[in-house]
Chain A
Amino acid sequence: MIDFQYARATDIADAVRRIAADPSAKFIAGGTNLIDLMKEDVERPTRLIDITRLPLRKVEETADGGLRIGALVPNSDLARHPLVESRYPLLASAILAGASQQLRNMASTGGNLVQRTRCPYFYDTATPCNKREPATGCSAIAGLNRMHAILGASEACIATHPSDMCVALAVLDAKVHVTGTAGGRTIAFADFHRLPGDTPQRDTNLRPDEIITALELPARGFAAHYTYLKVRDRLSYAFALVSVAAGLEVEDGTVKEARFALGGVAHRPWRDPSAEAVLRGQAASEAGFRRAAEVLLRDAKGYAHNAFKIDLARRTVVRALTQAARGEPQSQSGKKVV
């Protein structure tokens, strides 16, 4: 691995001061993605600022009935937290659909948001990649692109965001609390991740001097009608080809509120209010779910090896909405899809 300096942040202000003082420094928490990328020579920080001893490990109820989750809460603890299991089972399910228990024990809540794409060309330093080295070109567009984006991609980059947890957070309208040299601010989840455009080297709108301190979930948790349905090449411990997080509110067979987002298909979780509007006020029916899926996928574009994902995504949306409407969420241990 590359060599680097190591420092331990003593408090949030110290962490911000240290990151602002050194543009080539990086924060380290769980390390599951960063250390891997450093071994591959993709990330080359000259200094690591260890934030793991900062007091950001609490899960607390907020005054308006929501939940505030410290940025260092491990993914596994979050998935098994009683308030998450009871009020936000969609979040728990999405977390448990990802990685392995060892990785979930290590990975932090904040780190999950800023993990990088698993595009093989991003990892392979022998090939051009605009995300790794701006203005060198995208090897995936004319390369092996089976896992790549079908929505929101650009001529510069067709990488996908790999997180499962973030797809659920998009549906739950989470907020991201960050602190930087200019003080604290709150970023709506929809504004946190970016589309690649012509600057694919930037995954998020987090500024270089900012640290994620917490996530906040509003009260609405869709605990009665939700699912996280992930389609992948093997049943466990694999990234999504397509995944769907869905949350519905259904009264007497009528959809009062509908939220759904796709994972594994774009540079960020893919949600579209106009697709959700198709369902609102309508009977929960397969025909309606199909119309909503058509709207969500209307701008989808396939490449040489991933065009199958367009149809797969449509069908996965319909299946997920059906599971959510029935109140029969996908099990993340018994993998049979019903």
Chain B
Amino acid sequence: MAQASKSTQAAAERRGVPARVAIALTVNGVERRLEVAPWTTLLDALRDRLDLTGTKKGCDHGQCGACTVLLDGRRIYSCLTLAVMQDGAEVTTIEGLAANGALHPLQEAFIEHDAFQCGYCTPGQICSAVGMIAEGRARTADEIREAMSGNICRCGAYPNIVAAIQEVMERS
């Protein structure tokens, strides 16, 4: 059971205040235990509670993709799920992609191809691309564009984003 102790919950419900709920998330390979209010989104838990501010809050409504993270290996929008619902899940954020001091190949390729301008959408773009490559469906540039359409870049760096992803796909 995810909830804090039953007596805490009962007492809080008597006061009309929803109890905070104890959850455990494995974030970038490390187990993190925290208590969250039920209405805390996964995005806010990552940024405000775990200080992982690489994941960005753009629209906060599932329209821009800046908050994309990998949940149990699949890309999702962290602004549209509640932290409490993800108790026990594995989350990978942009901070978790580099290994042993070396950038992830997609991070390298984004730098190499100048695949950003302001950089705000970049963590979401890269996490989304990691998920897309793992899905193993997109092959052509058209297919990459379609598969990446859930990540908006208002600077318009799309051609370089597609080129960066294509290069990593070809190498792997």
Task: Determine if chain A interacts with chain B.
Answer: yes
Is residue B168 contacting chain A, with contact meaning CB distance below 8 A? Answer: no
Q: A32-B62, A36-B62 are in contact. Are A102 and B38 (CB under 8 A)?
A: no
Of the stretches A1-9, A136-144, A278-286, the one at the interface is A1-9
Give the tally of cross-chain contacts (CB within 8 A).
102
Bound CA–CA A8/B3 (angstroms): 9
On chain A, the residues within 8 Å of B137 by CB distance are 80
Is residue A54 contacting chain B, with contact meaning CB distance below 8 A? Answer: no
Tell me if A100 and B150 are in contact (CB < 8 A).
yes
Tell me if A5 and B18 are in contact (CB < 8 A).
yes
On chain B, the residues within 8 Å of A101 by CB distance are 75, 128, 131-132, 135, 147, 150
Tell me if A50 and B85 are in contact (CB < 8 A).
yes
On chain B, the residues within 8 Å of A106 by CB distance are 76-77, 80-81
Tell me if A39 and B60 are in contact (CB < 8 A).
yes
On chain B, the residues within 8 Å of A6 by CB distance are 18, 21, 38, 82, 84
The 7 tightest CB contacts between A and B, nearest first, are A100-B150, A6-B38, A236-B149, A237-B149, A333-B146, A1-B39, A333-B143
**How many of A's residues come within 8 Å of B, CB to CB?**
34
CB contact between A102 and one of B2, B60, B65 (< 8 Å): that residue: B65
Tell me if A28 and B85 are in contact (CB < 8 A).
yes
CB distance from B134 to the nearest CB of A (A): 11
CB contact between B68 and one of A35, A76, A102 (< 8 Å): that residue: A102
When each residue 171-191 of chain A gets 1 if its CB lies under 8 Å from chain B and 0 otherwise, what string results?
A: 000000000000000000000
Tell me if B61 and A39 are in contact (CB < 8 A).
yes
B interface residues, Cβ below 8 angstroms from A: 1-2, 13, 17-18, 21, 37-39, 41, 60-62, 65, 68, 71, 74-77, 79-82, 84-85, 128, 131-132, 135, 137-138, 140, 142-143, 145-147, 149-151
Nearest B residue (CB) for A107: B80
A interface residues, Cβ below 8 angstroms from B: 1-6, 8, 28, 31-32, 35-36, 38-40, 48, 50, 52, 76, 80, 99-103, 105-106, 235-237, 332-335
Tell me if A31 and B61 are in contact (CB < 8 A).
no
On chain A, the residues within 8 Å of B132 by CB distance are 101
Which one of B1, B65, B77, B84 has the greatest number of beta carbons of chain A within 10 Å? B77
On chain B, the residues within 8 Å of A1 by CB distance are 39, 41
Tell me if A48 and B80 are in contact (CB < 8 A).
no
CB distance from A11 to the nearest CB of B (A): 14
Q: List 24 A-B contacts (CB under 8 A).
A: A1-B39, A3-B17, A4-B18, A4-B39, A6-B21, A6-B38, A35-B80, A35-B82, A36-B80, A48-B38, A80-B137, A100-B149, A101-B75, A101-B150, A102-B75, A102-B150, A105-B75, A105-B76, A106-B81, A235-B149, A236-B149, A332-B146, A334-B140, A335-B142
